[in-house]
């Protein structure tokens, strides 16, 4: 194998791993502790935050800290600074009158470097309700798109990748025809041993990059299809994706915000159904067990897939994006990519955009989910605010469980990923 090919594969695998990775441990840590062990409060109940700065695990005295407390992503109720005379400081009590999340953000400078951390308290989180309204013709709109897709042949093409396969699994670079004549590309992993297997669709987080076959899951006896969403092969040189990130697909998630029929995600949402068409067409598929999983944008696509495709039996989502986008218009945090936030350069100014985006808001797909689901996230997520994904989670009227790792942000612990995988395997391979 050439050095360039080896390097490309190494970078691909790195990008796949780091999308799930937790932050690097640093010599200085800011520890912020809420006064409720479960980080949850009732409306009107005061929350206080104890703050310490540790260097090599030792509490530091005489360190100046800057802190802010307020609703997540909103103007803080309190901004102040204090010197830690006793190596610890406790804020005054702050509260919220409505369901939502109250965040304490702390920064400090030690040895010339700035450090930052945050902790978020949840208020009546099971009572958070969406800001977005469901369009009257929501189901008809998506049914029509899927019916249009169904008229197109699958036209699947498979390229075996021996160098990407394992002793138990064959890996393929795959494409098939999608909505509007587009192509869907992905990495397909199929167990080598003769038999029938459950299948999992893996939907991607935001970005433009190559993908690797999920041999770890496939080696356990599962067909896994890991897709991209941009209609381009997922095994090209890394420079191609970098050029697209800074060129034609830069900020793709803002394309045609105010047009229901031209929104970038119209093709993407419809094509998750076509990706499942490919999975269920495989002779190795067991004919009954289909699941979907993903995080962030992939968490959103997991919910969308579960809502649009009744063949799906189980779903596992991490911190879904694109949920309750118009929360900002009601004075609270909305979902990624935050186009309605104050001062956002892509902020759509027209009511037409608000109406059009309701067809793509994950909340409205959550209302349609009727299968068993596993959800996991943390309270400290700044990319996909917990207010937004609780607005979606709370309207799911189906068996569901949320496994909360409170201090995580837009990342996961290995134990968190393991718990999700174990749940999924317990359902599809009991």
Residues annotated as part of the active site: 296, 381, 410
Apex 235 CA angle, 229 and 239, nearest 5? 95
Burial tier of 203 (Cβ tally within 10 Å: 0-12, 13-18, 19+): buried
Instruction: Compute the CA torsion angle 387, 205, 405, 26 (nearest 10 deg).
Output: -110
Provide the 10 A C-beta neighbour count for residue 210.
22
Tokens 């369901």 — which residue?
99
Query: In this structure, are residues 223 and 284 in contact, taking their beta carbons and an 8 Å threshold?
Result: yes
**Separation of alpha carbons 359 and 377, rounded Å:** 24
Q: Please choose, from the candidates 238, 237, 273, 267, the residue with its C-alpha nearest in 3D space to the C-alpha of residue 253.
A: 267
Burial tier of 38 (Cβ tally within 10 Å: 0-12, 13-18, 19+): exposed
Burial tier of 62 (Cβ tally within 10 Å: 0-12, 13-18, 19+): exposed
Instruction: Compute the CA torsion angle 136, 142, 144, 150 (nearest 10 deg).
Output: -160
**Distance between the two ends of the chain, CA-based, in angstroms?**
40
| φ, ψ of residue 364 in degrees (nearest 5) | -70, -25
**Separation of alpha carbons 179 and 148, rounded Å:** 8
**Separation of alpha carbons 77 and 110, rounded Å:** 26
**Separation of alpha carbons 109 and 90, rounded Å:** 19
Q: Please choose, from the candidates 387, 379, 342, the residue with its C-alpha nearest in 3D space to the C-alpha of residue 104.
A: 379
**Strand partners of residue 67:** 80, 106
**Strand partners of residue 138:** none
Where do runs of H (alpha helix) occur along 292-413? 297-308, 351-357, 362-366, 386-393
Concatenating the DSSP letter of every residue in 302-327 gives: HHHHHHH-TT--EEEEES-SS-SGGG
């Amino acid at each position: 194998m050439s050095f360039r090919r080896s390097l490309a594969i190494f970078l691909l695998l790195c990008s796949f791993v780091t999308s799930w990775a937790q932050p690097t441990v640093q010599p200085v840590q800011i520890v912020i502790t809420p006064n409720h062990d479960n980080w949850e409060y009732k409306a009107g109940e005061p929350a206080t935050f104890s703050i310490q700065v540790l260097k090599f695990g030792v509490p530091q005295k005489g360190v100046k800290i800057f802190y802010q407390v307020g609703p997540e992503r909103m103007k803080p109720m309190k901004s102040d600074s204090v010197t830690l005379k006793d190596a610890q400081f406790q804020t005054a009590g702050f509260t919220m009158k409505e369901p939502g999340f109250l965040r304490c953000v702390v920064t400090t400078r030690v040895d010339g470097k700035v450090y930052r951390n945050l902790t978020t308290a949840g208020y009546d989180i099971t009572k958070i309700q969406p800001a977005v309204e469901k369009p009257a013709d929501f189901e008809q709109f998506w049914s029509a798109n899927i019916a249009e897709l169904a008229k197109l042949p699958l036209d699947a093409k498979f390229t075996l990748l021996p160098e990407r396969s394992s002793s138990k699994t064959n890996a393929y670079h795959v494409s098939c025809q999608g909505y509007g004549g587009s192509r869907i590309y992905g990495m397909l992993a199929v167990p080598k041993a003769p038999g029938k297997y459950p299948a999992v669709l893996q939907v991607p987080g935001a970005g433009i990059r190559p993908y690797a076959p999920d041999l770890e899951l496939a080696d356990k006896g599962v067909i896994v299809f890991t897709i991209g969403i941009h209609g381009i092969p997922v095994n090209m040189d890394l420079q191609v994706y970098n050029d697209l990130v800074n060129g034609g697909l830069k900020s793709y998630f803002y394309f045609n915000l105010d047009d229901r029929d031209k929104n970038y995600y119209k093709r993407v949402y419809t094509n998750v159904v076509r990706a499942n068409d490919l999975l269920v067409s495989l002779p190795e598929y067991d004919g009954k067990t289909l699941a979907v999983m993903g995080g962030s944008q992939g968490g959103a696509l997991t919910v969308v897939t579960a809502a649009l495709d009744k063949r799906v039996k189980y779903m596992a989502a991490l911190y879904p994006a694109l949920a309750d986008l118009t929360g900002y218009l009601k004075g609270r945090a909305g979902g990624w990519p935050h186009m309605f936030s104050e001062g956002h350069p892509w902020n759509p100014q027209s009511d037409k955009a608000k109406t059009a985006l309701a067809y793509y808001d994950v909340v409205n797909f959550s209302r349609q989910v009727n299968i068993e689901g596993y959800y996991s996230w943390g309270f400290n997520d700044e990319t996909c605010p917990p207010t937004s994904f609780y607005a979606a989670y709370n309207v799911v009227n189906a068996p569901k469980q949320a496994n909360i790792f409170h201090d995580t942000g837009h990342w996961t612990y290995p134990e968190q990923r393991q718990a999700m995988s174990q749940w999924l395997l317990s359902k599809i391979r009991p």
